[in-house]
Copies of this chain bind each other. A is one copy, B any other.
Amino acid sequence: MVVFAGQGDARRSMELLWGPRVVAPRTGPGPKPGLSVEAIVAAAIDIADADGMASLSMRSVGERLGRTAMALYTYVPGKTELVDLMYDRTLGELPSSFSPSDGWRSAALSLADALWDLHLRHPWLLQVSPARPVLGPGEFHVQETLLSVLASTGLPLSRVRWVVSALFNVVRGSVQAAAESRQAARETGLSEEDWWYARSALLRELVPDLTARFPTVARLGSSVEASPSDEPYLEREARLSFEAGLELLLDGVEAAIVKASGPR
């Protein structure tokens, strides 16, 4: 299920997101803090990377740090805020140097590539809904990078905004397919090919009139099966879909540039 974000105390959340990463040692009474927000977030990210978002619980994070679940509540208001922090810190990992010196198109391509890699390294990112903005430094960083690269097209910023959002969606959608292909293979133990084979046999048995009911899909399916490969199929497919969708989108951008500068 998609994890929601950002409905707790706004000020507290924002302070956690933007506050200094290393807190100055407290000068008051009481025992020294044994943990820190950053340590908690890092542990949570480790867990999510290794075992997926389903394994992320306050208990599991606490255990990894040698504490109980409740110990975390001293540092973090709740799980949603923790997820926000994980999301934002991870987005902050995106490299920022995409010089448009070689033209906006190649910069956009390598930026999209970096985004793809980022999501594949942290597949749980895809289970955090991007719709409600977190408004943290990482998110701003990504937006700034995307916007500034696409702004070098010369298009008005208000249109660049749409381009950015479409590009982001295309990347997210296709990398999601790739990530879940991997995850599924690992979790079910079934290789993807075996899974697919079993399913299509079942389909043929239970729905004999499949090709008649969905002719175009069937046509596509047969053309696909004719060209097998050693690579995991769905993952390669996702990568191709990513590249093709991106090209399509950038062609659209190019057309928009021509249209905007053409009738001068």
Does A117 have its Cβ within 8 Å of any Cβ on chain B? no
CB distance from A173 to the nearest CB of B (A): 3
CB neighbours (8 Å) of A132 from chain B are 180-181, 184
A166:B244 contact, CB within 8 angstroms? yes
Report A13-44 residues with CB < 8 Å from chain B CB.
Answer: 14-15, 18-19
Instruction: State the majority secondary structure of interface residues on A.
Output: helix
Q: Give the residue of B18, B140, B217 whose beta carbon is less than 8 angstroms from that of A143.
A: B217
Does A216 have its Cβ within 8 Å of any Cβ on chain B? yes
**Tier of interface size on chain A:** 35 or more
What is the copy number of this chain in the assembly?
Answer: 2
CA distance A1 to B184 in the complex (A): 17
Of A203, A213, A220, A250, most B-chain CB atoms within 10 Å:
A220
A248:B180 contact, CB within 8 angstroms? no
Taken residue by residue from 168 to 198, chain A's Cβ proximity to chain B (1 for < 8 Å, 0 otherwise) reads as 1110111011011100100110000000001
CA distance A160 to B245 in the complex (A): 10
A131:B179 contact, CB within 8 angstroms? yes
CB neighbours (8 Å) of A206 from chain B are 14-15, 18-19
Does A114 have its Cβ within 8 Å of any Cβ on chain B? no
> A residues within 8 Å of B by Cβ?
1-3, 7, 10-11, 14-15, 18-19, 53-54, 126-127, 129-132, 135, 137, 140-141, 143-144, 147-148, 151, 157-163, 165-166, 168-170, 172-174, 176-177, 179-181, 184, 187-188, 198-199, 202-203, 206-207, 210, 213-217, 219-220, 223-224, 240-241, 244-245, 247-256
